[in-house]
Amino acid sequence: MAVWTVKGGRHGEREDRLLNEGVIGGGWEDLPDLSGIEDRDALQQLYEQSYPEASKNRASNHVGQLWSLLHRMERGELVVLPVKTTGTVAVGRISGDYQYRTDLGEDLRHVRPVEWIETEIPRDAFDQDLLYSFGAFLTFGRVQREAAKERIEAVVSGTHADVAAVDESEETEAESQPDVEVLAREQIRQFISRRFSGHEFAALIGEILSARGFTVSVSPPGADRGVDIVAGSPPDGSWKTTSAWTGQEGPSRY
């Protein structure tokens, strides 16, 4: 069985709806309900009618992704969603057939239902080659790595995977193209996590804020090992505190 990677929008704008509603999917708002489409040529023709200005490559990629959503994905197959807004990974299983919905927003009309198994798995739990596949550019694509299903299931269950290689001969060139922005962010994140911790990380954040024009004060080490950064942005005088451990903003100080 295949393993699919899906995206929740370029900036993660669909992620909450995917997770809360138990679906995967995309917009293509100019396309009608595709429930009756049983032939890829018919889908290609309908797409070209709906998007006459789309380039040949764009049309081919979109039709390929929609065909996967309609017919290639099977119930019980694993789905991996890299969550940009939290830096974690969600894993689920496809639980139903294609649906056309109008209640989830124009950017989420063509969907498949999913039962999410885990929604906040740290990215570091996965091998680097799997993370590379998770960063593929397409909204829907197959994970092209050795024994991906067994290795992902092992991460979810917290067990060690001792598996053999799987056949990946069905993959296409388009499905393996990486999203360069996602990969670059992951490499930067990994570099920072290796090189900086505790107050070294706080100092790094302070320097970044300073470079962006903030006036910054980093608290000295304390017994509770907490780290606070106070940054002011003149001329309005607004202040915010940020935890170097979580990256979350605290209450504003004025």
**pLDDT, tens digit, for every residue of 104-140?**
999 999 999 999 999 999 988 998 888 888 877 678 8
Tokens representing 60 are 């081919």
Q: According to the model, what pLDDT value does residue 248 have?
A: 44
Mean pLDDT value of segment 74-78: 95
Query: Band of the pLDDT at 29, cuts 50, 70, 90?
Result: very high
Higher pLDDT, 189 or 240: 189
Burial of 7 (0-12, 13-18, 19+ CB in 10 A): buried
Q: According to the model, what pLDDT value does residue 145 have?
A: 83
Contact 121, 91 (CB under 8 A): yes
- Residue 63's alpha-carbon distances to 37, 78, 134, 161, 168, in angstroms, are 12, 21, 20, 35, 21
DSSP letters spanning 23-59: EEEE--TTS---TT---HHHHHHHHHHH-TT--HHHH
Q: According to the model, what pLDDT value does residue 1 have?
A: 80
Distance of alpha carbon 64 from alpha carbon 72, whole angstroms: 10
For the chain, what percent of residues have pLDDT higher than 70?
Answer: 75
Beta bridge partners of 51: none
Helix then strand then coil, in percent of the chain rounded to 5, is: 35, 25, 40
Tokens representing 181 are 């922005």
Cβ partners under 8 Å of residue 55, min gap 6: none
Mean pLDDT value of segment 21-41: 94
Query: Band of the pLDDT at 147, cuts 50, 70, 90?
Result: confident
Give yes or no for residue 55 having a pLDDT over 90.
Answer: yes
Q: According to the model, what pLDDT value does residue 206 have?
A: 81
Strands 78-83, 3-6: pairing kind? parallel
Higher pLDDT, 173 or 45: 45
Q: Which of 96, 91, 88, 50 is nearest to 69 (CA)?
A: 96
Q: According to the model, what pLDDT value does residue 169 have?
A: 40
Distance of alpha carbon 159 from alpha carbon 24, whole angstroms: 27
Q: Which helix (H) or strand (E) holds 11?
A: none
Q: According to the model, what pLDDT value does residue 124 have?
A: 87
Give yes or no for residue 53 having a pLDDT over 80.
Answer: yes
Higher pLDDT, 225 or 214: 214
Mean pLDDT value of segment 45-66: 94
Distance of alpha carbon 234 from alpha carbon 237, whole angstroms: 5
The listed range with the strongest mean pLDDT (7-16, 37-46, 177-186, 233-242) is 37-46
Give yes or no for residue 168 having a pLDDT over 70.
Answer: no
Higher pLDDT, 210 or 74: 74
Burial of 192 (0-12, 13-18, 19+ CB in 10 A): middle
Query: Band of the pLDDT at 20, cuts 50, 70, 90?
Result: very high
pTM of the model: 0.66
Distance of alpha carbon 72 from alpha carbon 86, whole angstroms: 29
Mean pLDDT value of segment 229-254: 51
